Structure 1
Amino acid sequence: MSTLYRLLTEEDTSAFCHKVSDALAKGWVLHGSPCYTHDPTSGLLRCAQAVTKDVDAAYSPDMKLGAQ
């Protein structure tokens, strides 16, 4: 068994909420609180949320984490 980790990022729009909601629906679990930062190049607020998931497979860097 392996615990997988992903950091989901997106601009502060509904797309970010949908990305996190999709991960939760696929069995990923929130890890910590969301983070926000201002991107001075684009002038937009960016969001990040860490998620984890336990899987019955050995970890490999070749894994497509979003497909787990």
Structure 2
Amino acid sequence: MKLYRFLTGPDDASFCHKVTAALNKGWELAGSPTYAFNAATGAMQCGQAVVKEVDGREYSPDLKLGEQ
């Protein structure tokens, strides 16, 4: 099964740590990062898609992707 996540966060070190943690759990970058202004918060936001192949499991909408 191939899993997909889109990580988002503020433009600071916490976002880099979030992506780094995912990479160290076996997730791989998928495409380029995004960078956009969030008018509601008045701050820049980052985003990065990540994917992971997991053998021996079937997809279910109840699956907690962050725990994989």
TM-score normalised by structure 2 residue count: 0.96
Residue of structure 1 in register with 2:66 after alignment: 66
Count of residues in Structure 1 that have an aligned counterpart in Structure 2 = 67
**Aligned residue in 1 for 2:18:** 19
The match for 1:45 is 44
Distance 1:20 1:5 in 2: 13
- Deviation >2 Å, runs of 4+: none
**Range with greater deviation from structure 2 (18-27 or 36-45):** 36-45
TM-score by structure 1 length?
0.96
User: What root-mean-square deviation, in Å, do the aligned CA atoms of Structure 1 and Structure 2 show?
Assistant: 0.5
Once the 2 structures are TM-superposed, how far is the Cα of residue 19 of structure 1 from its aligned partner? Answer: 0.2
**CA distance in structure 1 between the aligned counterparts of 2:14 and 2:24, rounded to whole angstroms:** 15
**Which structure is higher in strand share?**
1
Identity of aligned residues (%): 55
Provide the rounded CA distance (Å) in 2 between the counterparts of 1:27 and 1:41.
33
- Matched residue of 1:37: which SS? strand
Match of 2:54 in 1: 55
Q: CA deviation at 1:40?
A: 1.1
